[in-house]
Amino acid sequence: MTTIRHHPTDDMLVALAAGTLPAGPAAVLASHVEDCAVCAERVAEFEALGGALLEEMPDAGLAPEALARTLAAIDSPLASSVAATPPHARRVGHLSRPELPAGARWPRALDGCSATPWRWIGPGMRWSRLRLPQDPDANVFLLRIGAGKFLPPHTHSELELTQVLWGSFHDGRAMFGPGDFDAADGTIHHQPVVQPGSECICLAAVDGRVVFDSFLARTLGSLVGM
């Protein structure tokens, strides 16, 4: 049984429950929550609390035309077409995704997302750009790094959220394995090193830029949006 040691903060889980996160960070957090019983329980608690607060709020009056607009929308051809489409087909469709190792799986949180083929960025390192239908411009990608390989030392101009999907790495602060979550900002300077025995695949969402120490690494990072 996988032991998850690193989790999002309660502030992040509250934002996820409230639906206030941008699409990229929300996809990474949701990927963690679906495999983490502890965080799933916290999100359910926050959602229940939010529902209770809504029930205590005074009723708000509707505009006189609200009912007529709602009925017209229900009767529209577009609404009828969407309702007739099976939910799975609407969510998944025909997607292009890179192959994962045997035993690995795509998070359900990425249903409806497409991704580019694996692209080379260095010896033993590949990446894939994800496209989120709710925000195609979100900076979300997969990193696939071979056993014993490592990213160059770096920090962050803003915030990077990472969810480990396969394998493990140590970045000088702690070991991160399958299911673990990490949030790194400008206060963190680290160098993730993939542990022996297996490659490592991570899902990441980046606000701002990853600030690599070396000029060459910064140049390669800029080419992939890191």
For 117, the domain range is 1-226
Long-range contacts from 135-139, C-beta under 8 angstroms, 24+ separation: 135/22, 135/23, 135/24, 138/22, 138/23, 138/24, 138/27, 138/205, 139/24, 139/205, 139/206, 139/207, 139/225
Task: Using the predicted structure, report yes or no on whether residue 64 has a pLDDT greater than 90.
Answer: no
Task: Give pLDDT tens digits for 153-193.
Answer: 999 999 999 999 999 999 999 999 999 999 999 999 999 99
What confidence tier does 221 reach under pLDDT thresholds 50, 70, 90? Answer: confident
Task: Using the predicted structure, report yes or no on whether residue 203 has a pLDDT greater than 90.
Answer: yes
Task: Using the predicted structure, report yes or no on whether residue 74 has a pLDDT greater than 90.
Answer: no
What confidence tier does 89 reach under pLDDT thresholds 50, 70, 90? Answer: very low
Read off φ and ψ for residue 120, nearest 5 degrees. -70, 135
What confidence tier does 82 reach under pLDDT thresholds 50, 70, 90? Answer: very low
21 or 95, which is more confident: 21
Task: Give the CATH number, domain containing residue 147.
Answer: 2.60.120.10
Read off φ and ψ for residue 79, nearest 5 degrees. -65, -40
Give the count of domains, the chain: 1
Least confident segment among 45-49, 74-78, 81-85? 81-85
Q: What distances in angstroms separate CA 73 from CA 36, 81, 84, 86, 200, one per listed residue?
A: 38, 12, 15, 19, 47
Alpha carbons 111 and 41: distance in angstroms, whole number: 22
What confidence tier does 101 reach under pLDDT thresholds 50, 70, 90? Answer: very high
What confidence tier does 219 reach under pLDDT thresholds 50, 70, 90? Answer: confident
